[in-house]
Amino acid sequence: MSWIFLVIAGLCEVFWSTMMKLSNGFSNLWFSVLTVIGMIASFAGLIIATKHLPLSIAYPVWTGIGAVGAVVVGIFCFHENLNWQPLIFVAFLIIGIIGIKLTSAE
């Protein structure tokens, strides 16, 4: 169950970073409020996950999901162009997240 909370927390990380972009430097109140709500939800999920998962496992997975998700949102929603070199390192992040999950005792 902790892994489920961790994945949800990571997805909330993607949500709040997307809302932060849409807030236009916190000048749009609605998106600014959604940013803060997403941050709270993301941290809450991480807090719940770390009750049963080691911090050394939970934190890198949480940030990795957020980082990969932000790249995906940037490419598909904001039409950001990335050449193939950064995408190789995003692939390394994905491999790392999967590797942490597969090798953790939890």
The 10s digit of each residue's pLDDT in 22-47 is: 999 999 999 999 999 999 999 999 99
- To the nearest 10°, the Cα dihedral for 81, 63, 57, 46? -140
Whether 62 contacts 49, CB under 8 Å: yes
Check pLDDT > 80 for residue 72: yes
**Helix/strand/coil percent split, the chain, to 5:** 80, 0, 20
Q: Determine the distance from the C-alpha atom of residue 55 to the mean position of all C-alpha atoms in its chain, rounded to a whole number.
A: 16
Taking each helix axis from N to C end, the angle separating 55-76 and 29-49, rounded to the nearest 10 degrees, works out to: 150
Average pLDDT value for residue range 59-71: 96
* Verdict on whether the full-model pTM lies above 0.95: no
Q: Which domain holds residue 36?
A: 2-103
Average pLDDT over the chain, rounded to whole?
Answer: 95
